[in-house]
Amino acid sequence: MLNFTKQGTLTLLNGSGRVVWSSNVTRRVQNPIAQLLDSGNLVVRDATVNYYLWQSFDYPSDTELPGMKLGINLKTGFHRSFWSWKSSNDPSRGDFNWAFDPRGFPEPCIMNGSIIHYRTGPWNGRGFATAPSRQPTPHNIYTYVSDPEEIYLTYEPTDSSIITRVVMQQNGILQLSVWNNQTQNWDNFGRQPTDNCDFYSQCHSYGLCNNGISSLCRCLDHFEPKNTTDWARGNWSGGCVRKTTLNCQKEVKFLKYSGIKLPDTRFSWYSQGVNLNTCEELCLRNCSCVAYANPNITATNEGCLLWFDDLIDIRDLGARGQDIYIKLDSSALENSTTGKAMKLRIILPLAALSLLLALCIIWYIRQKKKDQNEGRGMRCFEMFFTRESKDEELDLPLFDFATISDATNNFSLKNKLGEGGFGPVYRGMQKGGQEIAVKRLSRYSAQGTHEFKNEVIFIAKLQHRNLVKLIGCCIQGEEKMLIYEYMPNNSLDWFLFDRDRSSQLDWPKRLHIINGIARGLLYLHQDSRLRIIHRDLKPSNVLLDIDMNPKISDFGMARSFGENETGAMTTRVVGTYGYMSPEYALEGKFSVKSDVFSFGVLVLEIVSGIRNRGFSHPDHHHNLIGHGWILFKEGRSLELTNTHLRESCNLSEVQRSIHVGLLCVQQRLEDRPSMSSVVLMLSSDVPLSVPKEPGFFTGISQSTNADSLSSNPGEPSANKLSITILDAR
């Protein structure tokens, strides 16, 4: 019971009348009232004076609303920050929180305990460099205050009818949402982190992160990898060092680097009234100073930021980025200038010749286009893809942008089905009446051209009732879209992990889904023209048609192999935590047995209705896989079964499915069965071997569990982001 005392204190009482929480108001007033404001702020105040004795906005949970002040009162030390929930059913503080770090030049960070998970970059006068939800928009006005008394950020909507919120999800993703009155749902608009380079210190010191390049990290100009061997393997943790070491006794100069996210400012020094020329002099006079910048893009030459440690967490932002001036040995710059002059003498004549040749080619192409208007779309399609993909004709229509825009009602929010790592997905209706699903590549997507090509090439060549059907694609300018058959029942996780919808999945339907996924994987591994390893099998990538038939989707991470190949090594581990096999997550080895492991996790999740990641048990620290194995060894496998299945399940079928799932998630890939064996075991009464210890099962502590790689105690089904940044070696 929530009680309001005559002294103006809110108290929460349990059934026996004991106080379990109190607003702890110390100041007493004559006529206290408690009031819930239209903003969502619950306040305690004097009825005659608009002075708040206590307000809920000072103690946010996982949600920020307009009008909240997030920051630090420097006089009292009072922090206003918000935290992720511990789990979807436990609103106590989880692992992640959003807070200002007052050290150096203050900037907000998402913290995972004491470790920085993500930082926005410093306030640049208009917004934060890498925070789409913190940029000025037509809907919101942001106010940032930093003075001797307090540091805080707040925002207000320009239109009071627009309802927005920012939620810290359990996996450390900050999601900005706007309420849609038509659909009565929250529509997602921007999140942070948005891509691989947003995660803190991906390229470590003096490394430049660029999500658009294959290697993700490169050293800044005039810097080189500290450990060349590790760097070549994709291990960037050592960072970069100057090619020519700084020496305070020698002449130094500054080189301007543009279009970047300014480095970590926690150990920097800042002065507001210093212009850029004076800032340079200050850095020159201090031997420890390594770089300087003006953080404020709205006030040129008014503000000086100095760094005294290695520059960490730099990324390429292009036009959205800022300038920084880094101290270098003058001899390095002189050698570079001389080398550039020599290169120009060679390059300029070649450039002129290349330009002339390019003009001739353009003229020739235009002449041909005049006589060949038909089939133009397919030529563009062929030009977009590599020669390898053109060896076999892809019978796939190319849609123009206007057609897709009309079908989705100009990508209306009410047509939006959801959003994953690739980008938003919209429902559409073609003029002939066929319903379609349109997956539109987002510019903030962690995936890109390579994944787009993969999806088109693989799905266009694969035909199976348990694989999603690709109807066509759209490639126009920067726009890249994939058009699929529409799945009216959404994805498997939409049903599986929702308390209400999961009851619609009785045991016959779940077994039907398990068998369908198994047959789809068998086709990919053995019966298709290509041997395909999916590498990102999870519930959100299994779609359900109107008859609840499962369709494996999202082949952006897939790899193909020759008839005699079964696997490979990679330094770029892709997929989703909780579904990766041990040898893949830790060593970069992937094979058909990697998909078998993911399938085993899926089976256990389908039977239990519980996510492998985020599972917790009061008696042990293991994940769902470990819990299932413990129950199996004790002869209590059926305890893993979802409560909704007790009336509809066939006990022997459930027990057999759990047994097969545990065989698929065994630690050693040699022990795991092939998908042909899995299909046989699920559809017959052949004897089953006893499963050995599963992957990531330890008797030490949770930190050795593979789930701890993600530091995520649980995630809502709306989050379908695929991780593509793990450097496990």
Q: What pLDDT score does 28 carry? A: 73
Residue pLDDT, tens place only, 674-694? 999 999 999 888 899 999 999
Q: What pLDDT score does 566 carry? A: 58
246-335: what fold? Hepatocyte Growth Factor (3.50.4)
Domain layout of the chain by residue ranges: 1-59, 77-194, 246-335, 382-485, 492-726
Helix (H, G, I), strand (E, B) or coil at 387: coil
Contact 540, 420 (CB under 8 A): yes
Task: Retrieve residue 641's tokens.
Answer: 């079964």
Using CA atoms, how far apart are residues 153 and 675, in angstroms rounded to an integer? 53
Query: How long, in residues, is the chain?
Result: 729
Can you tell me the mean pLDDT for 369-376? 41
- E-strand stretches of 570-683: 573-575, 589-591
- Judged against a pLDDT cut of 80, whether residue 552 lies above it is answered with yes
Look over the chain and give the mean of its residue pLDDT values, rounded to a whole number: 82
Residue pLDDT, tens place only, 707-723? 333 333 333 333 343 44
Helix (H, G, I), strand (E, B) or coil at 482: strand
Kindly report which listed range (198-207, 347-356, 618-627, 632-641) carries the lowest average pLDDT score.
Answer: 347-356
Contact 193, 261 (CB under 8 A): no
In the chain, the percentage of residues whose pLDDT exceeds 70 is: 85
In the chain, the percentage of residues whose pLDDT exceeds 90 is: 37
Please state whether beta strands 322-329 and 252-261 pair in parallel, antiparallel, or not at all (unpaired). Answer: antiparallel
Most confidently predicted of 290-294, 447-451, 644-648: 290-294
Contact 166, 175 (CB under 8 A): yes
Q: Which DSSP string corresponds to 537-549?
A: --GGGEEE-TT--
- Judged against a pLDDT cut of 70, whether residue 366 lies above it is answered with no
Residue pLDDT, tens place only, 499-514? 888 888 999 999 999 9
- E-strand stretches of 454-571: 470-476, 479-485, 531-533, 542-544, 550-552, 559-561, 567-569
Most confidently predicted of 388-397, 414-423, 549-558: 549-558
Q: What would be the CATH architecture of the domain defined by 382-485?
A: 2-Layer Sandwich (3.30)
Contact 679, 672 (CB under 8 A): no
The total of other beta-carbon atoms located within 10 Å of residue 720's CB is 20
Task: Give the neighbor-by-neighbor strand order of the sheet with 42-46.
Answer: 32-36, 42-46, 52-55
Using CA atoms, how far apart are residues 632 and 186, in angstroms rounded to an integer? 41
C-alpha 631: how far from its chain's center? 33
Using CA atoms, how far apart are residues 525 and 472, in angstroms rounded to an integer? 24
Task: Retrieve residue 269's tokens.
Answer: 């020094």
The pLDDT-based confidence of 724 (bands split at 50, 70, 90) is very low
Residue pLDDT, tens place only, 292-344? 999 888 876 678 999 999 999 999 988 888 999 999 998 877 655 555 556 66
Kindly report which listed range (167-176, 587-596, 696-705) carries the lowest average pLDDT score.
Answer: 696-705
| Sign of CA pseudo-dihedral 642, 643, 649, 652 | positive
Nearest alpha carbon to residue 43 among 4, 79, 72, 73: 4
Contact 722, 535 (CB under 8 A): no
Using CA atoms, how far apart are residues 101 and 104, in angstroms rounded to an integer? 8
The residue that leads in pLDDT, 453 or 205, is 205
Kindly report which listed range (212-226, 457-471, 534-548) carries the lowest average pLDDT score.
Answer: 457-471
Q: Side chain identity at 373, as an amino acid letter?
A: N
Q: What pLDDT score does 729 carry? A: 30
Using CA atoms, how far apart are residues 570 and 590, in angstroms rounded to an integer? 8
Q: Side chain identity at 21, as an amino acid letter?
A: W
Q: What pLDDT score does 520 carry? A: 94
The residue that leads in pLDDT, 431 or 516, is 516
Contact 283, 274 (CB under 8 A): no
Q: What pLDDT score does 723 carry? A: 40
- Judged against a pLDDT cut of 70, whether residue 390 lies above it is answered with no
Q: What pLDDT score does 720 carry? A: 40
Find residue 561's DSSP bridge partners: 531
Q: What pLDDT score does 341 carry? A: 56
- Judged against a pLDDT cut of 50, whether residue 377 lies above it is answered with no
Q: What pLDDT score does 351 carry? A: 78
Contact 71, 151 (CB under 8 A): yes
User: Using omega within 30 degrees of 0 as the cis cutoff, is the peptide bond preceding 138 cis?
Assistant: no
- CATH match of 492-726 with 1.10.510.10: yes
Using CA atoms, how far apart are residues 157 and 137, in angstroms rounded to an integer? 9
- CATH match of 1-59 with 2.90.10.10: yes
Q: What pLDDT score does 212 carry? A: 67
Residue pLDDT, tens place only, 164-214? 899 999 989 898 888 888 888 888 877 888 888 889 999 999 999 987 666
Cβ within 8 Å of residue 187, ≥6 positions away: 177, 178, 179, 180, 413, 416
Q: What pLDDT score does 127 carry? A: 81
C-alpha 270: how far from its chain's center? 32
Using CA atoms, how far apart are residues 29 and 36, in angstroms rounded to an integer? 19
The pLDDT-based confidence of 450 (bands split at 50, 70, 90) is low
Name the residues annotated as catalytic.
Answer: 536
Using CA atoms, how far apart are residues 700 and 294, in angstroms rounded to an integer? 49
Residue pLDDT, tens place only, 18-69? 999 888 777 777 788 899 998 999 999 888 877 888 999 999 999 999 999 9
- Three-point CA angle 140, 146, 152, nearest 5°: 50
Using CA atoms, how far apart are residues 152 and 265, in angstroms rounded to an integer? 17
Q: What pLDDT score does 376 carry? A: 37
Within 163-257, residue ranges assigned H as helices are 228-232
